[in-house]
Amino acid sequence: MIAFVAASLAGPVWDGATRWEEGDIEGAVAAWAPAADAGWGSARIKFDLGNAWYRRGDLPRAIAYWRAAGHLAPRESGVSRNIAIARSELPADTPPPAGDPALWMRVVTPGELGIAAWLLTIAGSVGLVRRRRLREGSRTPWVALTVTGLLVGAIATRGWWHQVQSPVAVVIDAPAQARSAPDPTAAGHLQLPPGSEVAVVDASNGFLLVQTGDGERGWVPDGAVLRVPR
């Protein structure tokens, strides 16, 4: 606990917050971005980085980092609030966001649900071992507990796998032309303004097949979007 507190007070979150309080938004981004993009970035640092991008006027990146924070901390009401504010400032022709998580993932993360499943399963296993050792009681409740834990674990694993297999990306910097094939010469049929939140369905030849919230699909260059960091 002491190590956690010490790391929390001396880490990038603290550094960036200090610069933020001084009005140095660029410095805050410089402090937060490396840790947020390192792969194991916490919900807090991604949330803070979203705020920084918002203050810099970059709504797409703000939305991307807030959505990343929402994956890690779905019960944080501030995340959904800030996303709603940013979305309200997007152009009216922005398609509806794609890749909204399943209902249960708006309450718990797959990791948290996995821990609950693990605890249920281990409780069932320990109960079975204890029952065998003491030769008393019924095994049915312990088997039921174990099976419940495994089912919950399967749901958690499926949710995590879905996040991995169907990432969300946000169109950044400039409108992206969605084309009918992963080829720069293919016909474009859909214009995605910056801030469009799309689900990444496939990748090929430096292009991503993306799908908007209203079901429209098209290939956009990989560099036109920012994948929601995990």
Residues that bind other proteins (CB under 8 A): 4, 7-9, 11-14, 16-17, 20, 35-36, 38, 40-45, 47-48, 51-52, 54, 72, 77-79, 81-82, 85, 88, 91-93, 109-112, 114-115, 117-118, 121-122, 124-129, 131-132, 139, 142-143, 146, 149-150, 153, 156-157, 159-160, 163, 230
- Cβ proximity of 169 and 225 under 8 Å: yes
- Comparing CB distances to other proteins, the nearer of 97 and 127 is 127
Half-sphere exposure of 104 (CA within 13 A, CB side): 13
- Comparing CB distances to other proteins, the nearer of 14 and 204 is 14
- Cβ proximity of 225 and 210 under 8 Å: yes
Euclidean distance between CA atoms 108 and 116, whole angstroms: 10
Q: What's the closest the beta carbon of residue 206 comes to other proteins, in angstroms?
A: 25
- Comparing CB distances to other proteins, the nearer of 163 and 209 is 163
Among residues 161, 153, 151, the alpha carbon closest in space to that of 113 is found at 153
Q: What's the closest the beta carbon of residue 119 comes to other proteins, in angstroms?
A: 8
- Comparing CB distances to other proteins, the nearer of 52 and 209 is 52
Q: What's the closest the beta carbon of residue 153 comes to other proteins, in angstroms?
A: 4
Q: What's the closest the beta carbon of residue 101 comes to other proteins, in angstroms?
A: 13
Q: What's the closest the beta carbon of residue 73 comes to other proteins, in angstroms?
A: 9
DSSP string, 111-160: HHHHHHHHHHHHHHHHHHHHHHHHT-S-SHHHHHHHHHHHHHHHHHHHHH
Strands 225-227 and 168-171: antiparallel
